[in-house]
Amino acid sequence: MNLMKYGSFLAVAATAGLISGCASSGVRNPSGTPVTEMRADERGFVAGTGIESQDLLAVTDKMSHGILSIPQIANAQGTPRVVLDPVINETRFPINKDIFLTRIQADLISKANGKVTFLARERMAALEKERQMKQAGQVTSSSDPNVVEFKGADFFLTGKLSGLTTRTSQGTSDYILYTFELIDARTSDIIWQDSAEIKKQGLEDAAYR
Amino acid sequence: MPLTVKTTEGCPANRRSSLVLAWLTAGALALGVAGCSTTDARRQPVLTGDLMVDGPNAIAHGPTRDRVLWEYRTATAAMRQGNYGLAKQYLDDGLTTLQGIYGPDKEARKARGYFHAEAKKTFIGEPYERSMAYIYRGILYWMDGEPDNARACFRSAEIEDSDTENHAYAGDWVLPDYLDGLATVKLSGDGSDAFKRAQGSAKGLRLPPYDPKANVLFFFEFGPGPTKYATGEYAEQLRFRTPVSPVRSARFKIDSLDVPVAPTDDVCFQAITRGGRLMDHILGNKAVFKSATDIAGDVGIVGGAATILGTGGRNATADEVGAGLIVAGIISKAVSAATTPEADIRSWDNLPHYLSFACMPLPPGPHTVTVEFLDAAGMPMPFLTKTVSFDVPADKDKVIFVSDQSLTPQKT
């Protein structure tokens, strides 16, 4: 009788374990994770040690505030014209290099109230073609197309991303220094420069080490 | 001996019931241990042997854990066909996964457990595979006129190789360092440190000094690369198969020039010099556990059966003990059977054995290069000769990628 009780108990326990065990240890998020809208300055649940949107926003916000406060822009006679010169990427992370300057430009245009104008140099090919068509009389023109009206730059806005990386059995550490500067196109003086630093560390699961 | 040995106290029925219960219990527990393993709802695709068919199919419909593996393989195949847009797309996706692998990972944690195989984890590759993904992407960035992003990839390639067991082999790829320096020189920087690192890793090979005016860059790859296999009682030890390459070097002819190409990097060497992994210790522990539970199971079953049979059914307590031992033994065997110490041998199996590089200044306009791959005797292997026609632009570098597996002729 004892044996029967013992056996029955074991069998019940095993069956319960079988059923409950399987129920609790399936694939996590078997249907995936729904698309989650996040703020661009928010650190998401998918993260690496590289350059991410929250870094972009923090850095470009700081830079656009800095540019607006310099006397050459704030107290300029007339409207200074700025050309974007692609940033130099010296980090170990390939990036879309235009994205930093594009955001600074958008930020400045929206906040500067006309104190600064940007020149669309990356559109020069299309602009030249349009001008040539006007000169050839293929399209109408509201002014003399033979007079050069493309404006020259007063300043160049550019930057550099530099990185330091350490990787050991304890994890990976990435430090990135973001430096931006405004250069006087006439004198080559650097009239403004600012920087921001971001350091990130991470360690992958032991299964990947 | 049959289990229905006649006894004097009506114990055969008792013994039978104890044995039946023992088997039932053990069976249920064995199912409980072994049956809880989960499977990816996406199944292994049926392979045709054509990577340009199998790759996209596996990426779209195969197990998610193998997605990066197929992206790597397909990107390489695409590069050899001159389909650089597709290669970029797959490498970008694979590298995004690789760069975001930090922190807790449910599948990786399972792969460390006793009852899940290592191959259940999301594949990102061993360090030499990760480095190769960055090297290919770097080549493609340079092709697109982005030498600084190419340099970023070459730097990441070295970083992936920097955590070797023996530090003498840490970050010892030659080409990524050399190209890091070349990109820096072309961007008006100082590439001398990178050049020194490259020269230090290039044992027995004298690297050419940088020529900032060299506007045509040739990347070569040849020979079969490393693959993985497992050894050990339970296939728990990861090993690398490094085939002897029939192609040992190359030579290319362009305009009136005939340029020899020596191997710069040996991918097989990179595979075998990483040293032990942390995961190897985990798999070793799994193997010990599997062996110990298997032996314990044998002892329990044999001991239990001997106990029951030894009493001749005349001692109910001994029968209960015997049945308990059998149950424990069977459970232990089931646990052993469910333990999976097998090493993950998923391989980026179309990598090359050797990488090499050359660059030179050429005037803008059309050119044609003929690349011969040479055997150990330095003789051309005619069926591997490739021809590439290309136009050198005036405003950026022209990058030519040639593999001994490339389609020929190509026009880029």
Band the pLDDT of B24: cuts 50, 70, 90: low
**Lowest model confidence (mean pLDDT) among A185-199, B30-44, B208-222:** B30-44
What does the buried/exposed string (b/e) look like for B341-373 if buried means 16 or more CB atoms within 10 Å of the residue's CB? bbbbbbbbbbbbbbbbbbbbebeeeebebbbbb
Would the CB atoms of B99 and A48 count as touching at under 8 Å? yes
Q: Are strands A171-184 and B410-411 parallel, antiparallel or unpaired?
A: unpaired
CA distances from A27 to A24, A46, A153, A162, B136 (A): 9, 18, 58, 40, 33
Would the CB atoms of B105 and A47 count as touching at under 8 Å? no
Task: Tell me what pLDDT residue A41 has.
Answer: 80
Query: 10 Å Cβ neighbour count for B314?
Result: 11
Task: Tell me what pLDDT residue B168 has.
Answer: 73
Band the pLDDT of B25: cuts 50, 70, 90: low
Whether the pLDDT of residue A28 is over 60: the answer is: no
Would the CB atoms of A172 and B102 count as touching at under 8 Å? yes
For residue B172, the distance in angstroms to the closest alpha carbon of chain A comes to 14
Whether the pLDDT of residue A104 is over 60: the answer is: yes
Mean pLDDT, chain A, rounded, equals 84
Nearest to B54 by CA among B268, B345, B350: B350
Nearest to A87 by CA among B292, B187, B246: B187
Q: Hey, what are A45's tokens?
A: 């649940």
Mean pLDDT across A14-33? 52
Q: Which residues of A touch B25 (CB under 8 A)?
A: 7, 10-11, 14
Of B152, B279, B316, the CB nearest to A89: B152
CB B173 within 8 A of CB B161: yes
More confident residue, B8 or A40: A40
How deeply is B201 buried, as exposed, middle or buried, from its count of CB atoms within 10 A (0-12, 13-18, 19+)?
A: buried
DSSP for residue B378: S
Q: Which residues of B touch A28 (CB under 8 A)?
A: 106
Helix (H, G, I), strand (E, B) or coil at B86: helix
Asked if the bond preceding A86 is cis, omega within 30° of 0, the reply is: no
Whether the pLDDT of residue B239 is over 60: the answer is: yes
Q: Which residues of A touch B88 (CB under 8 A)?
A: none
Q: Enumerate the domain spans of chain A.
A: 50-125+153-203
Whether the pLDDT of residue A21 is over 50: the answer is: no
In this structure, chain B runs to a length of: 412
Phi, psi of B96 (to 5 degrees): -65, -45
Q: Quick check: ipTM above 0.90?
A: no
**Lowest model confidence (mean pLDDT) among A155-164, B149-158, B311-320, B386-395:** B311-320
CB B275 within 8 A of CB B167: no
Would the CB atoms of A14 and B22 count as touching at under 8 Å? no
For residue A86, the distance in angstroms to the closest alpha carbon of chain B comes to 11
Closest-CA residue in chain A for B141?
Answer: A94
More confident residue, B396 or A39: B396
User: Apex CA B334: angle with CA B332 and CA B336, to 5°?
Assistant: 70
Would the CB atoms of A207 and B121 count as touching at under 8 Å? yes
Mean pLDDT, chain B, rounded, equals 88
Closest-CA residue in chain A for B22?
Answer: A7
Q: Hey, what are B136's tokens?
A: 């290919």
Band the pLDDT of B6: cuts 50, 70, 90: very low
Query: 10 Å Cβ neighbour count for B137?
Result: 26
> What is the dihedral angle through the alpha carbons of A28, A34, A40, A41, rounded to the nearest 10 degrees?
-40
**Which of A1, A2, A3 is the best residue to mutate to test the B interface, defined by the most B CB atoms within 10 Å of its own CB?**
A3
CB B368 within 8 A of CB B400: no
Mean pLDDT across B202-214? 92
What does the buried/exposed string (b/e) look like for B270-282 if buried means 16 or more CB atoms within 10 Å of the residue's CB? bbebbeebebbeb
Would the CB atoms of A48 and B100 count as touching at under 8 Å? yes
**Which of B19, B23, B31, B36 is the best residue to mutate to test the A interface, defined by the most A CB atoms within 10 Å of its own CB?**
B36
Of B21, B104, B156, the CB nearest to A92: B156
Q: What is the pTM of this model?
A: 0.83
Whether the pLDDT of residue A191 is over 80: the answer is: yes
**CATH code of the region A50-125+153-203:** 3.40.50.10610
Q: Concatenated DSSP letters for B2-25? A: -S----SSSHHHHHHHHHHHHHHH
**Separation of alpha carbons B246 and B228, rounded Å:** 20
**Separation of alpha carbons B207 and B203, rounded Å:** 10
Query: 10 Å Cβ neighbour count for B336?
Result: 21
**Separation of alpha carbons B22 and B158, rounded Å:** 57
**Which of A10, A49, A175 is the best residue to mutate to test the B interface, defined by the most B CB atoms within 10 Å of its own CB?**
A10
Query: 10 Å Cβ neighbour count for B185?
Result: 20
For residue A170, the distance in angstroms to the closest alpha carbon of chain B comes to 10
Would the CB atoms of B103 and A202 count as touching at under 8 Å? yes
For the four alpha carbons of B274, B351, B226 and B113, in that order, the dihedral sign comes to positive
Q: Enumerate the domain spans of chain B.
A: 51-280+344-411
Q: Which residues of B touch A26 (CB under 8 A)?
A: 38
**Which of B21, B307, B326 is the best residue to mutate to test the A interface, defined by the most A CB atoms within 10 Å of its own CB?**
B21
Task: Tell me what pLDDT residue A11 has.
Answer: 54
Q: Which residues of B touch A206 (CB under 8 A)?
A: 108, 112, 278-279, 282
| Segment holding B252, helix H or strand E | strand B249-254
Task: Tell me what pLDDT residue B308 has.
Answer: 85
Task: Tell me what pLDDT residue B26 has.
Answer: 55
pLDDT digits (tens, 9 = 90+) for A74-92: 888 889 999 999 899 999 9
